[in-house]
Structure 1
Amino acid sequence: MKLLILTKNILAETSFQSKLQQINNEVFCSTCLLDECFSMDQEMGQLLSCFDAVILSETVSYQEIFEIIPRIREYVPAIVRKYESEFTKGYEEERTEYIIDQRIKGNASLEEIRELCQAIEQKQAEHPKARTFSSRKRRTDEVDYRFYNFGFSKRERIMLMCLYENRGQYLSRQELCKKIWREEGVTDSKMSALSSCVRNIKEKVEKSGMDFSPIDTAWGRGYQISDEFYHLIKAEAEFKKSEGHKIFDVAENVL
């Protein structure tokens, strides 16, 4: 599963994060995303929807918890509150209008965390708006896969990187040819190869079971990366960036 810990202090989550990772979860721990939740926008909602659950650290105050939960509720299948004392648990449970799906102590054992993850998986399956991309809609003859296992060729990866880096604007066919083939220039054969590249990318993503296109096409304007596919790349890049990689290096690798 893909889990997001929102905290005031990343170092305070080291032990808990390690236990989550020991049972094969991808765990992203962030302080800046906690701040972003207070001014929730569409892009932040898209990012949150990439996770199976959000875990709110005990370093986050009661008042902040009550402000955050209504903002993120619709975007994630499960909200987990990590706490230290029974007082915290009892106080927050009295605020019944702010529903927390699961609670767990910060010093929970590996077995307790394992059971928490099973409960999250069950909750995720019930969530109508869950957008978990490791279990996205597929045909019955397809196997499960993780992020970006689409089998893109090197040229297809380069094209997607060009569109990713220019998100929000259309690139003309001529511009893309220059970026992909550089000194070779724009020729009829390159334009034809570009069209095949776009078609292949769309076919590979469609075969994966996704219900949206990775590339938006506008007649006379060219191509741009779709918002949905941009956020897929960005979410994986955020995971890797926390490990010290540069975002564009990561995006190229995961594609």
Structure 2
Amino acid sequence: MKILILTKNLLAETECQNKLQQLNNEVLCSTSLVEDSYMMPGKTEGILSYFSLVILSETISYQEIKAVVPIIRKHATAIVRKFESDYTKDFEEEQTEYVIDQWIRKDASLEEVRELCQAITQRESDNQVEILFSNGKGVFNKGQYHFYDIGFSKRESALLLSLYECRGSYLSREELCGKIWKEKLVSNSQRSALSTCVRNIKSKVRKIGIPCEPIETAWGKGYQISDEFYQLIKV
């Protein structure tokens, strides 16, 4: 597997790089690509698409992580974040909209690194499975997508997962807001944020060329996931 480690300090990645290479992976460490990824995305997209896995070092700040993840998500199969303390991990998971595929401690053992690589390899293999479906305009040969492959935020993923689990049924705005925000009383700001999530999901699906509408809307009923999109994605 081809792995890119983005870091602010090459020496800090020596142990991690050695373990990955012991498992017969090709590994590149880079400091310059951290800033280039969000300052000059056109320059780096060809490089990022070469790697199956991008590991974000614990030496990269939270603000930089927020900037680079949306760029990396368009190209890499998976994004892994190294962390030093549970506090850091919990904070980032709670505060951010982006989705990290896997987390691993900076001092992870060789066995833990091996399990991580196997999980990413399996996911990459699953994404290569092709399925056929028709949307009335012809037959399309498409890969099977994971939520994360499309670049949904954490909130957008939560919305889609709720619809996915209730396939064939409509969920009202109030029901969806309750599932996403875990609150009994639904505010107007949450309803507005829900509408924004739906628009963003549809926009992201169109942007990567999936030829179907992901979400169906019915006045007085709410939202449901479309059958075509349900067949294309996996959780």
TM tier, smaller: 0.5 to 0.7
How far did 1:90 drift? 0.2
Q: Distance in 2 between matches of 1:74 and 1:46?
A: 11
Query: Given the alignment of the two structures, is residue 9 of structure 1 paired with residue 39 of structure 2, yes or no?
Result: no
> Counterpart of 1:104 in 2: which secondary structure?
strand
Query: Given the alignment of the two structures, is residue 119 of structure 1 paired with residue 119 of structure 2, yes or no?
Result: yes
Give the letter for the 2:56 counterpart.
L
Consecutive unaligned residues of structure 2, counting only runs of 5 or more, are 129-235
Over 3 Å counting, the alpha-carbon distance change for 1:123 and 1:96 in structure 2 is: farther
- Which string of whole-angstrom CA distances, capped at 9 and with x for unpartnered residues, describes residues 23-53 of structure 1? 1001000001112112243341111010011
Q: CA RMSD in A?
A: 1.4
Over 3 Å counting, the alpha-carbon distance change for 1:64 and 1:14 in structure 2 is: same
**Match in the other structure for 1:66:** 66
- Which string of whole-angstrom CA distances, capped at 9 and with x for unpartnered residues, describes residues 96-141 of structure 1? 521000000010000000000011112323447xxxxxxxxxxxxx
**Match in the other structure for 1:107:** 107
Give the TM-score, by structure 1 length.
Answer: 0.48
Q: Which protein has the bigger strand share?
A: 2
**Match in the other structure for 1:245:** none
CA contact (8 A) 1:40 1:71 kept: no
How far did 1:95 drift? 3.3
**Match in the other structure for 2:21:** 21
Give the TM-score, by structure 2 length.
Answer: 0.52
Query: Given the alignment of the two structures, is residue 56 of structure 1 paired with residue 83 of structure 2, yes or no?
Result: no
**Match in the other structure for 1:230:** none
CA contact (8 A) 1:80 1:103 kept: yes
Q: Distance in 2 between matches of 1:96 and 1:23?
A: 32
Consecutive unaligned residues of structure 1, counting only runs of 5 or more, are 129-255
- Which string of whole-angstrom CA distances, capped at 9 and with x for unpartnered residues, describes residues 39-90 of structure 1? 2433411110100110000000111111111121111000000011001110
Q: Distance in 2 between matches of 1:123 and 1:39?
A: 29
Q: Percent identity?
A: 59
> Which structure: larger Rg?
1
CA contact (8 A) 1:17 1:27 kept: yes
CA contact (8 A) 1:10 1:29 kept: yes
